[in-house]
Amino acid sequence: MTEYLAEAAIRVRYLHSDIDTLERVEIIRDLRLGVFDVLVGINLLREGLDLPEVSLVAILDADKEGYLRSYRSLIQTFGRASRNVAGTVIMYADRVTGSMAEAINETERRRERQIAFNQLHGITPKSTTRKLAFVDQAEEAAKRVGVHKTTELASLVANPHEAARLIERLRKDMKDAAKRLEFEQAASIRDKIRALQAVLGNS
Protein backbone atom coordinates (compact mmCIF):
# COMPACT_ATOMS: atom_id res chain seq x y z
CA MET A 1 0.00 0.00 0.00
CA THR A 2 2.78 2.41 0.90
CA GLU A 3 4.63 1.68 -2.35
CA TYR A 4 1.43 2.07 -4.37
CA LEU A 5 0.68 5.47 -2.86
CA ALA A 6 4.28 6.61 -3.29
CA GLU A 7 4.19 5.64 -6.97
CA ALA A 8 1.06 7.78 -7.28
CA ALA A 9 3.12 10.77 -6.07
CA ILE A 10 1.39 10.84 -2.68
CA ARG A 11 3.56 11.81 0.26
CA VAL A 12 3.32 8.72 2.46
CA ARG A 13 5.09 7.03 5.36
CA TYR A 14 4.70 3.57 6.89
CA LEU A 15 4.43 3.05 10.64
CA HIS A 16 5.19 -0.51 11.75
CA SER A 17 6.19 -2.39 14.88
CA ASP A 18 9.91 -2.54 14.00
CA ILE A 19 10.26 1.25 14.19
CA ASP A 20 11.87 2.40 17.42
CA THR A 21 10.14 4.82 19.76
CA LEU A 22 12.06 7.94 18.77
CA GLU A 23 11.55 7.39 15.05
CA ARG A 24 7.86 6.78 15.75
CA VAL A 25 7.69 10.17 17.48
CA GLU A 26 9.38 11.84 14.52
CA ILE A 27 6.96 10.22 12.06
CA ILE A 28 3.93 11.34 14.07
CA ARG A 29 5.36 14.83 14.37
CA ASP A 30 6.07 15.03 10.62
CA LEU A 31 2.48 13.99 9.94
CA ARG A 32 1.19 16.79 12.15
CA LEU A 33 3.56 19.29 10.51
CA GLY A 34 2.38 18.31 7.03
CA VAL A 35 5.71 16.87 5.91
CA PHE A 36 3.68 14.00 4.41
CA ASP A 37 -0.04 13.43 3.92
CA VAL A 38 -0.76 9.73 4.43
CA LEU A 39 0.34 7.43 7.23
CA VAL A 40 -0.07 3.70 6.61
CA GLY A 41 -0.15 1.38 9.62
CA ILE A 42 -1.43 -2.01 10.76
CA ASN A 43 -3.57 -1.38 13.83
CA LEU A 44 -0.96 1.03 15.14
CA LEU A 45 -3.30 4.02 15.11
CA ARG A 46 -6.06 2.34 17.07
CA GLU A 47 -5.73 4.08 20.41
CA GLY A 48 -3.73 6.51 22.45
CA LEU A 49 -2.73 8.94 19.69
CA ASP A 50 -4.15 12.46 19.83
CA LEU A 51 -3.81 13.81 16.29
CA PRO A 52 -6.04 16.85 15.63
CA GLU A 53 -4.65 17.22 12.09
CA VAL A 54 -6.05 13.86 10.93
CA SER A 55 -9.17 14.50 8.83
CA LEU A 56 -9.53 11.10 7.14
CA VAL A 57 -9.17 7.54 8.42
CA ALA A 58 -9.47 4.72 5.87
CA ILE A 59 -9.92 1.15 7.14
CA LEU A 60 -9.10 -1.58 4.63
CA ASP A 61 -10.69 -5.03 4.92
CA ALA A 62 -13.13 -3.67 7.48
CA ASP A 63 -15.28 -6.79 7.08
CA LYS A 64 -12.54 -9.17 8.25
CA GLU A 65 -14.10 -10.09 11.59
CA GLY A 66 -11.65 -10.57 14.44
CA TYR A 67 -9.76 -8.61 17.07
CA LEU A 68 -8.43 -6.01 14.63
CA ARG A 69 -11.90 -5.38 13.21
CA SER A 70 -14.04 -5.91 16.29
CA TYR A 71 -16.62 -3.33 17.38
CA ARG A 72 -14.28 -1.91 20.01
CA SER A 73 -11.29 -1.72 17.66
CA LEU A 74 -13.35 -0.01 14.98
CA ILE A 75 -14.68 2.57 17.44
CA GLN A 76 -11.16 3.31 18.65
CA THR A 77 -9.92 3.63 15.08
CA PHE A 78 -12.80 5.96 14.23
CA GLY A 79 -11.61 8.10 17.11
CA ARG A 80 -8.41 9.04 15.31
CA ALA A 81 -10.51 11.33 13.08
CA SER A 82 -12.70 12.67 15.88
CA ARG A 83 -10.40 15.55 16.83
CA ASN A 84 -10.87 17.24 13.46
CA VAL A 85 -14.05 19.15 12.60
CA ALA A 86 -13.92 17.67 9.09
CA GLY A 87 -13.07 14.18 10.35
CA THR A 88 -14.25 11.37 8.09
CA VAL A 89 -13.95 7.59 8.28
CA ILE A 90 -14.17 5.31 5.24
CA MET A 91 -14.46 1.55 5.68
CA TYR A 92 -13.62 -0.61 2.67
CA ALA A 93 -15.49 -3.91 2.74
CA ASP A 94 -17.49 -6.36 0.62
CA ARG A 95 -20.19 -6.66 3.26
CA VAL A 96 -21.36 -5.00 6.45
CA THR A 97 -20.44 -7.15 9.44
CA GLY A 98 -22.12 -7.07 12.82
CA SER A 99 -19.14 -5.20 14.27
CA MET A 100 -19.28 -2.63 11.49
CA ALA A 101 -23.01 -2.09 11.91
CA GLU A 102 -22.69 -1.77 15.68
CA ALA A 103 -19.80 0.69 15.36
CA ILE A 104 -21.70 2.79 12.81
CA ASN A 105 -24.84 2.84 14.94
CA GLU A 106 -22.91 3.80 18.07
CA THR A 107 -21.11 6.58 16.18
CA GLU A 108 -24.44 7.94 14.91
CA ARG A 109 -25.88 7.81 18.43
CA ARG A 110 -22.95 9.76 19.83
CA ARG A 111 -23.09 12.21 16.93
CA GLU A 112 -26.78 12.92 17.49
CA ARG A 113 -26.20 13.52 21.20
CA GLN A 114 -23.26 15.82 20.48
CA ILE A 115 -25.23 17.82 17.91
CA ALA A 116 -28.14 18.23 20.35
CA PHE A 117 -25.74 19.31 23.11
CA ASN A 118 -24.02 21.81 20.80
CA GLN A 119 -27.31 23.31 19.67
CA LEU A 120 -28.58 23.59 23.24
CA HIS A 121 -25.46 25.43 24.39
CA GLY A 122 -24.74 27.40 21.22
CA ILE A 123 -21.47 25.60 20.55
CA THR A 124 -19.88 25.70 17.10
CA PRO A 125 -17.70 22.61 16.54
CA LYS A 126 -14.03 23.20 15.74
CA SER A 127 -10.92 21.09 15.54
CA THR A 128 -8.99 20.61 18.75
CA THR A 129 -5.48 22.00 18.97
CA ARG A 130 -2.37 20.53 20.54
CA LYS A 131 1.17 21.82 20.72
CA LEU A 132 3.78 20.20 18.51
CA ALA A 133 6.97 20.97 20.42
CA PHE A 134 7.36 17.58 22.11
CA VAL A 135 11.09 17.29 21.55
CA ASP A 136 11.84 20.92 22.40
CA GLN A 137 9.77 20.70 25.58
CA ALA A 138 11.50 17.48 26.55
CA GLU A 139 14.93 19.02 26.10
CA GLU A 140 13.99 22.12 28.08
CA ALA A 141 12.49 20.07 30.91
CA ALA A 142 15.47 17.73 30.90
CA LYS A 143 17.90 20.61 31.31
CA ARG A 144 15.75 22.07 34.07
CA VAL A 145 16.04 18.96 36.23
CA GLY A 146 19.48 17.80 35.10
CA VAL A 147 18.42 14.81 32.98
CA HIS A 148 20.66 14.37 29.94
CA LYS A 149 18.89 11.67 27.95
CA THR A 150 16.66 14.17 26.18
CA THR A 151 16.01 11.99 23.14
CA GLU A 152 14.65 9.29 25.40
CA LEU A 153 12.40 11.80 27.15
CA ALA A 154 11.22 13.23 23.84
CA SER A 155 10.25 9.82 22.57
CA LEU A 156 8.14 9.11 25.63
CA VAL A 157 5.92 12.18 25.56
CA ALA A 158 4.47 11.73 22.09
CA ASN A 159 1.72 9.66 23.63
CA PRO A 160 0.28 11.03 26.91
CA HIS A 161 -1.23 7.65 27.83
CA GLU A 162 2.09 5.86 27.43
CA ALA A 163 3.84 8.61 29.38
CA ALA A 164 1.38 8.30 32.26
CA ARG A 165 1.92 4.53 32.39
CA LEU A 166 5.67 5.05 32.28
CA ILE A 167 5.53 7.48 35.21
CA GLU A 168 3.72 4.89 37.31
CA ARG A 169 6.32 2.27 36.38
CA LEU A 170 9.16 4.66 37.19
CA ARG A 171 7.66 5.43 40.59
CA LYS A 172 7.70 1.73 41.39
CA ASP A 173 11.30 1.45 40.21
CA MET A 174 12.24 4.46 42.35
CA LYS A 175 10.71 2.90 45.47
CA ASP A 176 12.41 -0.42 44.74
CA ALA A 177 15.77 1.33 44.34
CA ALA A 178 15.29 3.16 47.64
CA LYS A 179 14.47 -0.11 49.39
CA ARG A 180 17.75 -1.54 48.08
CA LEU A 181 19.48 1.60 49.46
CA GLU A 182 20.47 2.59 45.92
CA PHE A 183 19.68 6.24 46.56
CA GLU A 184 21.63 7.63 43.62
CA GLN A 185 19.62 5.51 41.20
CA ALA A 186 16.39 6.45 43.01
CA ALA A 187 17.26 10.14 42.66
CA SER A 188 18.00 9.69 38.96
CA ILE A 189 14.63 8.02 38.43
CA ARG A 190 12.96 10.80 40.44
CA ASP A 191 14.51 13.41 38.13
CA LYS A 192 13.26 11.55 35.08
CA ILE A 193 9.75 11.49 36.55
CA ARG A 194 9.91 15.24 37.17
CA ALA A 195 11.09 15.87 33.61
CA LEU A 196 8.25 13.84 32.16
CA GLN A 197 5.71 15.57 34.38
CA ALA A 198 7.06 18.96 33.32
CA VAL A 199 6.69 18.04 29.65
CA LEU A 200 3.19 16.66 30.11
CA GLY A 201 2.19 19.80 31.93
CA ASN A 202 3.15 21.92 28.92
CA SER A 203 1.86 19.70 26.12
Can you give the chain as a three-state secondary structure string?
CHHHHHHCCCCEEEECCCCCHHHHHHHHHHHHHCCCCEEEECCCCCCCCCCCCCCEEEECCCCCCCHHHCHHHHHHHHHHHCCCCCCEEEECCCCCCHHHHHHHHHHHHHHHHHHHHHHHHCCCCCCCCCCCCHHHHHHHHHHHHCCCCHHHHHHHCCCHHHHHHHHHHHHHHHHHHHHCCCHHHHHHHHHHHHHHHHHHHHC
Give residue 97's pLDDT.
Answer: 97
Give the domains, in start order, of the chain with CATH numbers. 2-121 (3.40.50.300), 134-202 (no CATH)
Helices 71-78 and 98-121 meet at what angle, rounded to 10? 40
Report pLDDT for 130.
64
Confidence at residue 157, expressed as pLDDT on a 0 to 100 scale: 54
pTM of this prediction? Answer: 0.63
Work out the widest C-alpha separation in the chain, in whole angstroms. Answer: 62
pLDDT along the chain (203 residues), means of 10: 94 84 76 89 62 90 90 90 91 97 96 94 84 53 47 54 78 88 82 73 53
Q: Using one digit for the tens of pLDDT, what is the confidence trace for 88-133?
A: 999 999 999 999 999 999 999 999 999 999 999 999 988 877 665 5
What whole-number distance in Å separates Cα of residue 195 and Cα of residue 99? 42
CA 109 from chain center: how many Å? 24
- Give residue 145's pLDDT: 44
